[in-house]
Structure formats: C-alpha cells, structure tokens
Structure 1
Amino acid sequence: MARLPVALQITTKHRGRSMTNKFKTILVPLDPALESTWRSALPAAIDLASNDQATLCLMTVVPEAEIPAIAVHLPDGLDEKLRDKGLDALETLRAREVPESIHSRSLVGQGRIDKQILRMAAKIDADLIVMASHRPKATDYLISAIAAYVTRHAKSSVMVVRERNEDR
C-alpha cells in the first residue's frame, strides 16, 4: 500500500497492533461546469481512492425547477431534464478525469446544495467527503459557505482541499 502524506494517514493502536484507516466510499461534490470546484479536490480524491481501493462517487446538485409558486408556468418534466443534464455533464467529466482503474459512479442531487451533499453522504454511507475550497473572492463565498456548512454538519470525515497557487 502506498503511504499517504502524514496529514492524511490515520493510524490507531488496537490491542497492541497498528491499524491504518482505509476509506471505502469517497463522495466528491462538484459542479462539472465550474472547474474551481474540482481542479484540486478531484485529484486528491482520486489518489485516496486509488490508495484505499475505495469507490469514488462524484456528485453534482441541480436546482429545483418546480417551486410551488411558479410550477404552473413551467413545462412538465423540467426537474427530470435538469437531473439528466447534470448527470450527462458529470459522466463526461468522470470519463475524462477519473482513471478506469478507479471504481467510480456519478450521482445527482436536486435542491439546496449543502443539504443534498449531506443527504447523499448518508444515503451512500460515505466515510469521507472531499470538496474544494479556496481563498474567497467576491464571487466565491457561496462555495466557501457550502464547504463550511458540510464540514460542520457531516457525520463522516470531510477533507476540504484548497487550490494551490499554480492551479489558479
């Protein structure tokens, strides 16, 4: 087994033996259309999944179209079309960025991003959520707020990956 950087490797003692924590299911919430949400986080998650032979679950969240007040004015099936479009974009990104040797899948949530990430993490029993964060600019506070919310409320471990200077 390849050794992870010290900050990522968790070793415990149990009955006199060292045991290294291995992740089984890693959730990576991202927006396929917004590279800053996956440029640093996805490679980190791929490395972890490769080292632990974990399942890598890429997730995107699409908005809800059927808001009760305006639902009558929207075409039927719009929510399903939004989910399908989100899944197509996620599948394209997964095929391009995730090596075939990594067991992976694509998931789509719909609604509030932070709540959907937590719901999906519980549904798939993710033991790690890997998501992006970066030094906020005026347009980036939403991403930072989502990462902060998930970090505070997740039942599983959360790894927030900050962009490196050369990634920007």
Structure 2
Amino acid sequence: MFNKILLAIDLNEPKGAARAAAAVQRMVGQEPAEVHVINVVPDMGMAIVGAAFAADHSKTMKREVGEALAEWAKDALPGLEPTLHVQQGTIYDMILRSANDLDVDAIVVGAHRPELRDYLMGPNAARVVRHARQSVFVVR
C-alpha cells in the first residue's frame, strides 16, 4: 500500500515515539516499504538567543541527536534499516518539507494526549495533518 514511509518522532517523548514505531512495524510487516525516520531539533529562535551559544553548537547538537536517533532506531525498529534524518527548524514545517523532498507516500506522527488548548491533537501533528499531501497516520 505504501512504498515509502516517513516516521516523525520526538526523542524527548520516548513512549510516543515507541508507539509510532510500533505502528510503522505493523505497516511494514504487512507490505515491505522504505522507512525514513526524522527527528527535528527546534530552532533557537531569535538571533540574540543563538548568540549565547558557541558557534558550532547547532552542528554539535545535530550530531548528538543523530547518534541518539541511531541508538533509538536499533531498539525501536528491529529488523528494519531505516534512513535517519535530523533536521533543524520548525517541527511541522521540517516534517512536511522532508516528506515532500523524500517523496514519501505516508507520514506517521505521534501526538500527545490532548489538552484543552490543543483540542484534538498536538499543534505539530495537527499542522502536518492539515497541510500534508501524503496520507498521515496519527498515533496516540
């Protein structure tokens, strides 16, 4: 059904990431697919904030997140050999851009339990659902 799947996870939310990974495992178990995993590191925001960090802070942070993502993928996606991506920017925007750039058929994204201000799902998952050209599976 899907030839390429993008799994968008947040390494800071291990339970949600594990649930989303399990959903991808089930999807791929039914029909093999190429799997990409993305973790987005948020921007620092205003330039004045970035100035407080070392010049190579972003590069170091992305490398460390990449290492953590590789460790996570070994445990969470056994038997699969996903392509890993660490991006920096606005979370929903980077998920959508990556999905389009990679030409995936489906996006799997986790959503935290809703709070009153979120209505039905987290703000990033909601934006991905609204704006994606691909099928989107939201896992809670």
State whether TM-score is above 0.5. Answer: yes
Deviations 1:116-154 (A, max 9, x none): 10011111111100111243247988x711111000000
Shift of residue 50, structure 1, vs aligned partner: 2.6
Write the distance in 2 (CA, Å) between the matches of 1:58 and 1:127: 14
Change (3 A) 1:73 1:161: closer
* One-letter code aligned to 2:66: L
Identity rate of aligned residues, in percent? Answer: 29
Q: Is the 8 A contact 1:129 1:159 kept in 2?
A: yes
Q: Is the 8 A contact 1:63 1:82 kept in 2?
A: no
Residue matched to 1:150? 128
Residue matched to 2:2? 23
Write the distance in 2 (CA, Å) between the matches of 1:66 and 1:135: 26
Q: Is the 8 A contact 2:37 2:82 kept in 1?
A: yes
Q: Is the 8 A contact 1:65 1:79 kept in 2?
A: no
Write the distance in 1 (CA, Å) between the matches of 2:46 and 2:62: 15
Shift of residue 66, structure 1, vs aligned partner: 7.6
Does residue 96 of the first structure (1) align with residue 70 of the second (2)? no
Write the distance in 2 (CA, Å) between the matches of 1:161 and 1:48: 13
Residue matched to 1:32? 11
Q: CA RMSD in A?
A: 2.2
Q: Which has the higher helix share?
A: 2
SS in structure 1 opposite 2:18? coil
* One-letter code aligned to 1:81: T
* One-letter code aligned to 2:28: A
Write the distance in 1 (CA, Å) between the matches of 2:11 and 2:49: 27
Residue matched to 1:15? none
Larger relative contact order (C-alpha < 8 A, sep ≥ 6)?
2
What is the TM-score with the length of structure 1 in the denominator? 0.74
Residue matched to 2:97? 119
Shift of residue 41, structure 1, vs aligned partner: 1.3
Residue-pair matches, total = 139
Write the distance in 1 (CA, Å) between the matches of 2:65 and 2:82: 16
* One-letter code aligned to 1:36: K
Which of 1 and 2 has greater Rg?
1
User: What stretches of structure 1 of length at least 5 have no aligned partner?
Assistant: 1-21, 163-168
SS in structure 2 opposite 1:76? coil
What is the TM-score with the length of structure 2 in the denominator? 0.87
